[in-house]
Amino acid sequence: MFTISELERYTNLENGLYLSILGQVFDVTKGEKHYGSGRSYHAFTGRDASLAFITGEFDDQGLTDDISSLSMQQVKALNDWVQFYKTNYIYKGKLYGRYYNQDGSPTIEFYKIQEKLLLLQKEKALEEAQNRMFPPCNVEWNLDIGTVFWCTERSGGIDRDWVGVPRMFFETAQGSSRCTCVKLDSKEYEENKARFKEYDGCDKYATKCTLRMNKT
């Protein structure tokens, strides 16, 4: 375990270059060209400046471990930084403070972050499941023609044994929509029929649809 004052010693090559991110301390001495005195990321050493990994703000307000202002996506990006350090640098221990108690056990703040990451993971799993049911269309835009949507057995990067037809899919009640390929005789389509709309001017059973531009 490190205390804040102990970590503050590790800002030079003599003692070593250490930084903390979300309460986890890493030895980044081998990255001297990035973390050494006068280098771009030297401000990260000797402290936990988790917020600055996302904001890029290196003033007194930015160099803090308080990440309560971050969105879930930003928390995920910060956690990706943690994984980067685990892969590329030596883990030295935990920092006593916001994320870990003196005995090394996680604090409430730590669990709040884990809850956000878990929620994001669940949302991603739901999104992936929805994309498998209703794969995104292939899309191409042409100045002379307009927007072309079409479906194949691999459109949207989703491999399947059916093609489907393009439909406007309303993902949220607020009206957010995207083009998706639907299998008209599937149970999934029948159960979600109210969320789909045919594109104007396109044949109901066509696998390709062109939205013409209104030329003036």
Asked if 99 and 158 sit in the same domain, the reply is no
Asked if 29 and 111 sit in the same domain, the reply is yes
pLDDT (average), residues 115-128: 91
Residue 216 located in a structural domain: no
Closest of 90, 89, 109, 88 to residue 98, by C-alpha: 109
pLDDT digits (tens, 9 = 90+) for 31-90: 999 999 999 999 999 999 999 999 999 998 899 999 999 999 999 999 999 999 999 999
Closest of 140, 9, 145, 24 to residue 78, by C-alpha: 24
CA distance 25 to 198: 54
Would you state the pLDDT for residue 177?
87
**Total count of domains within the chain:** 2
Q: What's the pTM value of the predicted model, to 2 decimals?
A: 0.68
pLDDT digits (tens, 9 = 90+) for 190-211: 999 999 999 998 999 999 999 8
* Range of the structural domain that residue 174 is part of: 134-211
Residue 44 located in a structural domain: yes
Asked if 84 and 179 sit in the same domain, the reply is no
Closest of 76, 68, 15, 22 to residue 44, by C-alpha: 22
Q: CA-CA-CA-CA torsion for 178, 132, 134, 164, nearest 10 degrees?
A: 120
Last residue of a domain, one of 124, 158, 178: 124
Bridge partners of 201, per DSSP, are: none
